Chains A and B, each alone.
Chain A
């Protein structure tokens, strides 16, 4: 890799780190200032809404299967429903994910076997 390409990698890496880090410094200072002024330190309302909707957006984007076939979409729908169902029963983190992946894999495998 040429020297200028290394510089580009390092600038991209530093910029990405700063985008993750500087907003934390800003928010911590804001919370500390509100706290010292005797007020209730709280996040701005818009930021509290943006967090969960970002996760929802990640879910939506990740639902698109790489294969793009009908079977892959069916497997995604069935796997998603099973994940939700197992979460409803167990209220845990690991089992719903494992169950969803297994069911998704079974539906995909059936496609390979049938075709």
Chain B
């Protein structure tokens, strides 16, 4: 991928759908797991599907059904769900320079998940402004529908699926780190960026490997940004 403007040839939404296909490998197995776990936590299949449809935020949905099942107060369930999703606050402002004035963008923000943000942050600057809305609509809808569809699959047939193809369930989620590698590789343009991004990767890996996946992203991102600004100010001071 390059930063030059590339037209999708008048079918921007198809281009968005095509670019979002790698997300399915990560979304569907996790959504199947969510459907299965929600069922085991006492939610009906339709309730699990509605939660995926309206909340649409992976980690926080697992927390939501887990806390409800354990009998936690509902106000605390809501607060914890929103706290986990607080990282989403910085996504839309990062995309704002490439979004047009169309009012549809506001509704499309429902689909601004971690992975859709990562994809859009790389692809939107490379598209002509007339194609960005269509591209984002295609990418966002495919990701959303795959999440809801995966939840339905898990809720109605999760146990049978994971029992029959255990390896598939293990392998497909690797599509997400593979996608992030591809999205991130072009950003290693200097030692400054390499240090900041490398720090964020290692810190998030350590947090997640030690059972703190929800803290991993915000803490690692803040440390990565701190490394960037500290190194930048040191370089300026030396000059």
Q: Which residues of A contact B (CB under 8 A)?
A: 1, 4-5, 7-13, 15-17, 19-21, 23-28, 31, 41-43, 46-67, 72, 75-76, 79-80, 83-84, 87-88, 91-94, 96-98, 100-101, 104-105, 108-109, 112
Contacts and interface: CB of A to CB of B under 8 A. Distances in A.
B208 A61 contact: yes
Interface in B84-103: 85-97, 99, 101
Contacts of A92: 1
Interface of B: 1-2, 18-19, 21-22, 25-26, 43-44, 47, 50-51, 54-57, 60, 64, 68, 74, 77-78, 81-82, 85-97, 99, 101, 105-106, 109-110, 112, 114-115, 117-118, 121, 167, 170-185, 187, 193, 196-198, 200-209, 213, 216-218, 220-221, 224-225, 228-229
A48 B90 CA distance: 10
Contacts, number: 265
A94 B221 contact: no
A80 B181 contact: yes
A65 B29 CA distance: 13
Contact of A104 (B109, B171, B208): B171
Residue among A58, A67, A109 with the highest chain B CB neighbour number at 10 A:
A58
A41 B202 CA distance: 34
Contacts of A41: 97
Contacts of A108: 167, 170-171
